[in-house]
């Protein structure tokens, strides 16, 4: 039951993008097309999961025993940056069209504060184990994907809509993002 609550909270109630406002850069930048959003969501899922595993183990078995908890943030940033570089190399070789579609936004995962935020938040879970931290990371990645894909699908539909000239582009995108955030606010109190 505890894992179901973590999933519901991470995806709907405390959505990493729409409630905690982490990961806004890729949310606004990569959401032009649903296909690109799906690719970015997969990359974020992979990076977020691997980063949480790695940072959790580093924190528990290196930083805490050595009394170096104050180096947590810088260590986590270095680990995430290394993982993203590895992901970029793999995607470039495995799927060149996806690599071209993601373009400059793939390196943005390095500075995606959602990945760093989840890695840090996973350490603060009550009775936190590695399994719970990984489940928390996967749940947050699903929440990130949901927000990104829903926003991308709305943006695709807006391309066909008759929108006033002054509202096209960034203004309507920010308005829709705000409305999505308000919609997810309706899940508050669910968990």
What is the C-alpha to C-alpha distance for residues 145 and 37, in angstroms, rounded to an integer?
8
Tens of pLDDT, residue by residue over 3-29, are 999 999 999 999 999 999 898 888 888
Specify the pLDDT at position 75: 93
Is the pLDDT reported for residue 104 higher than 70? no
Q: How confident is the model at residue 148 (pLDDT cuts 50, 70, 90)?
A: very high
Q: How far apart are the first and last CA of the chain?
A: 12
Torsion of CA 39, 18, 164, 157, to 10 degrees: 40
Tens of pLDDT, residue by residue over 149-164, are 999 999 999 988 888 9
Question: Both tokens of residue 164?
Answer: 């006033």
pTM for the model stands at: 0.87
Is the pLDDT reported for residue 138 higher than 90? yes
Specify the pLDDT at position 157: 92
Residues with Cβ within 8 Å of residue 123, at least 6 apart in sequence: 55, 56, 59, 72, 133
């Amino acid at each position: 039951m505890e894992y179901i609550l973590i999933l519901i909270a991470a995806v709907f109630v405390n959505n990493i993008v729409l409630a905690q406002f982490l990961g806004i850069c890729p949310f606004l930048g990569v959401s032009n097309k649903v296909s690109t959003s799906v690719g970015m969501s997969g990359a974020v899922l992979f990076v977020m999961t691997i980063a949480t595993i790695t940072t959790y183990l580093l924190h528990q078995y290196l930083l805490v025993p050595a009394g170096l908890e104050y180096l947590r943030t810088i260590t986590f940033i270095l680990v995430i940056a290394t993982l993203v570089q590895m992901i970029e190399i793999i995607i470039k070789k495995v799927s060149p069209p996806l690599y071209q579609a993601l373009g400059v936004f793939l390196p943005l995962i390095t500075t995606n504060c959602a990945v760093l935020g989840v890695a840090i938040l996973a350490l603060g879970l009550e009775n936190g184990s590695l399994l719970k931290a990984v489940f928390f990371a996967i749940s947050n990645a699903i929440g990130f994907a949901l927000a990104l894909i829903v926003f991308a699908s709305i943006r695709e539909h807006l391309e066909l809509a008759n929108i006033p000239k002054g509202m096209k582009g960034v203004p309507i995108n920010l308005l829709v993002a705000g409305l999505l955030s308000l919609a997810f606010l309706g899940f508050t109190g669910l968990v």
